[in-house]
Amino acid sequence: MNRKFYYKNIELWEEASWQERQSPIAGVVEAIGVNKPIAEGIDVPENLMVTGRPQEHPDYRQKTGSIEPGWALYELERRGFHYESKEIGGTRWITVFPEGEEKRKGEKYPVLAVFVREYWRDSYWSMRLLTEYREYLRRAKEDRWGLIFVVTQEPCTNRIYTSIFQEAITMYPFDLEQVWLDISPLAEKGIRLSDIPGFRYIGENGMRVNPDEYVVRKLGIPVLDISRRWSEWDSLNRGMVMHSLMNDGFEPNRLIHSHSGKRMMEGIVLEYQFGSVSEPKLGEYWKNLGVCMEIHEIKGERWISLSPADSEASLPVIAVFAEVNASNDHAPVTAFATFYEYTRLVMEGEAILTFFALEDPDSNELYCDILEEVSEKYPADMDRVYVTGHSHNAHFAFSFAKRHPELVAAAATAGIPCSLMDYAGCGIRNFSVEDDEVEELACFDLPVININGCCEGLNLFPVIDENYSLQNEFVWSVTDFRTRARYWQRRLRASRCPVRSLEEIAAASACSDKATRILGIPNDRCYTVYADGYEHYIADIKNIEGKYHLRIAGIEDMIHMTTPFMQDLAWNFMRQFARNRETLQIYELV
Least confident among 129-138, 450-459, 505-514, 561-570: 450-459
Instruction: Report whether pLDDT(235) > 70.
Output: yes
pLDDT of residue 277: 94
∠ Cα 507 512 513 (to 5°): 100
Nearest to 22 by CA among 148, 160, 155, 152: 160
Torsions phi, psi for 491 (to 5 deg):
-60, -45
Whether residues 495 and 513 fall in one domain: yes
Instruction: Report whether pLDDT(425) > 70.
Output: no
Average pLDDT, the chain: 88
Whether residues 284 and 162 fall in one domain: no
> Which DSSP symbol is given to 27?
H
- Last residue in a domain, options 225, 255, 286: 225
The pTM of the full predicted model, rounded to 2 decimals, is 0.85
Domain contains 106: yes
pLDDT of residue 66: 86
Domain contains 7: no
Whether residues 49 and 71 fall in one domain: yes
In contact, 292 and 310? CB cutoff 8 Å: no
Domain contains 380: yes
Instruction: Report whether pLDDT(89) > 80.
Output: no
pLDDT of residue 466: 52
- Last residue in a domain, options 202, 225, 248: 225
- Last residue in a domain, options 207, 225, 243: 225
Quickly state the pLDDT bin for 170 (edges 50, 70, 90): confident
Q: Is the dihedral of CA 520, 521, 527, 533 positive or negative?
A: negative
pLDDT of residue 105: 53
Quickly state the pLDDT bin for 11 (edges 50, 70, 90): very high
Instruction: Report whether pLDDT(464) > 50.
Output: yes
Whether residues 555 and 435 fall in one domain: yes
> Residue range 129-141: average pLDDT?
92
Domain contains 16: no
Whether residues 333 and 459 fall in one domain: no
The residue among 528 and 66 whose pLDDT is bigger is 528
**Tens digit of pLDDT for each residue in 25-66?**
999 999 999 998 876 655 555 555 555 567 677 788 877 888
The H or E element that residue 441 is part of is helix 435-441
pLDDT of residue 476: 45
Whether residues 364 and 438 fall in one domain: no
∠ Cα 308 532 253 (to 5°): 115
Whether residues 541 and 474 fall in one domain: yes
Least confident among 117-121, 459-463, 506-510: 459-463
pLDDT of residue 419: 86
Domain contains 542: yes
The percentage of the chain sitting over the pLDDT mark of 70, rounded to a whole number, equals 89
In contact, 12 and 267? CB cutoff 8 Å: no
The answer for residues whose C-beta is within 8 angstroms of residue 209's C-beta and 6 or more apart is: 201, 202, 203
pLDDT of residue 269: 96
> Residue range 112-121: average pLDDT?
89
Domain contains 260: no
Q: Where are the beta strands (DSSP E) in 137-230?
A: 146-152, 174-182, 201-202, 208-209, 216-218, 221-225
∠ Cα 484 321 448 (to 5°): 45
Q: What is the CATH number of the domain that holds 363?
A: 3.40.50.1820
The percentage of the chain sitting over the pLDDT mark of 90, rounded to a whole number, equals 58
Instruction: Report whether pLDDT(428) > 50.
Output: no
Least confident among 484-488, 490-494, 546-550: 484-488
Quickly state the pLDDT bin for 74 (edges 50, 70, 90): confident
Instruction: Report whether pLDDT(312) > 90.
Output: no
The H or E element that residue 585 is part of is none
In contact, 164 and 91? CB cutoff 8 Å: yes
Whether residues 54 and 187 fall in one domain: yes
Instruction: Report whether pLDDT(200) > 80.
Output: yes
Nearest to 289 by CA among 269, 271, 310: 310
Domain contains 446: yes
Least confident among 152-161, 177-186, 515-524: 152-161
In contact, 322 and 370? CB cutoff 8 Å: no
Q: Which range marks the domain in which residue 288 is found? A: 274-415+562-590
Rounded Cα–Cα distance for residues 241 and 228 (Å): 26
Whether residues 52 and 121 fall in one domain: yes
pLDDT of residue 475: 43
Whether residues 176 and 208 fall in one domain: yes
Rounded Cα–Cα distance for residues 42 and 131 (Å): 8
pLDDT of residue 44: 52
Whether residues 194 and 136 fall in one domain: yes
Instruction: Report whether pLDDT(101) > 90.
Output: no
| Total of domains in the chain | 3
Rounded Cα–Cα distance for residues 416 and 400 (Å): 15
Domain contains 245: no
Quickly state the pLDDT bin for 478 (edges 50, 70, 90): low
pLDDT of residue 431: 54
Whether residues 389 and 432 fall in one domain: no
